[in-house]
Amino acid sequence: MALGLCLNTAVIFAQSLPDQVARFRDEVYMCSGDAASLARLGNDVEERIKGELSGTELSNALSFCEYLIGKAYQNENNGTEAAARYQSGLDYAAASVKANPTADGYRMMADNMSQLCTLKSTAWVIANGSKVASYANKGLGYNPRNAACAYMIAARWVYAPAPFSNVRKGINEMQDILSGKYDLEKDDYFNVYYSLAYAYNRLKQPDNVKPWLDKALAIYPSNQDALQLRQGNARIVNSMDDR
């Protein structure tokens, strides 16, 4: 897909999350407070949705909240608290798919597992890392239009260290997510745009970094990862792989 075509396409956000969960997601992606305050907000949201949702919908929403709180702690390099929240999110998602397998449940298993892989030992990652794509593929089996599952499959090529990465393949798969085959929510657009910018940064192609990074920052202007990438200090630094 041509770069210009993607950038000129109007962005329409899908929204399947409960309103309070979506608002909490936006607070975390905007890095609008310190981790402790965002965790308190997330805990409050969890208590509210416990009175409004049930079954797998509740489990998936709780998993997402735990995932978001984990991201907030990880933004402050608090790996211990982040890992605990990601594990909690993984537990909620596992209970969800055991009771009623859905794309959203498997998406949350993939999301939480992928973040745990950034915090755990090499041995743990070797034992568990392949599960991320497996869970995401299972999610696509239940809903082929689930953009978050497709994103998790593409992201491994962009973020894995050499020699396990394939950045050009990741770029192609990320651009395919924008082709109209998938239903994208606000954070899906941000994640794809940011990841394309990150991928081109790995390939040392700054002219291609800027337009995608601008698109990401148009969605979440104060996102810490995007701002650090703009400053040339991407938080995840891998060996360059231009395959």
Q: Which fold has domain 145-243?
A: 1.25.40
Span 157-167, average pLDDT: 91
Distances from the Cα of 174 to the Cα of 60, 136, 166, 223, 236, angstroms = 24, 14, 12, 20, 18
Rounded Cα distance, 89 and 211, in Å? 33
Span 48-54, average pLDDT: 96
pLDDT tens digits for range 116-149: 999 999 999 999 999 999 999 999 999 999 999 9
Which band of pLDDT confidence, cut at 50, 70 and 90, is reported for residue 162? confident
| Cis previous bond, 163, omega within 30 | yes
Which CATH architecture is the domain 18-143 placed in?
Alpha Horseshoe (1.25)
Which of 12-21, 153-162, 165-174, 222-231 shows the lowest per-residue confidence on average (mean pLDDT)?
12-21
Mean pLDDT of the residues in the chain: 91
Residue, of 221 and 7, whose pLDDT is higher: 221
Q: Residue 43 above 80 pLDDT?
A: yes
Rounded Cα distance, 142 and 144, in Å? 7
Rounded Cα distance, 68 and 86, in Å? 9
**For position 187, what pLDDT does the model report?**
97
Domain ranges of the chain: 18-143, 145-243
Q: Is the dihedral of CA 83, 62, 13, 19 positive or negative?
A: negative
**For position 16, what pLDDT does the model report?**
75
Decide if 18-143 and 145-243 have a common fold.
Answer: yes
Q: Residue 184 above 70 pLDDT?
A: yes
Which band of pLDDT confidence, cut at 50, 70 and 90, is reported for residue 238? very low
Nearest to 194 by CA among 23, 35, 29: 29
Rounded Cα distance, 214 and 194, in Å? 9
Span 37-62, average pLDDT: 97
Structure tokens at 168: 């050009």
Share of the chain above pLDDT 70, in %: 90
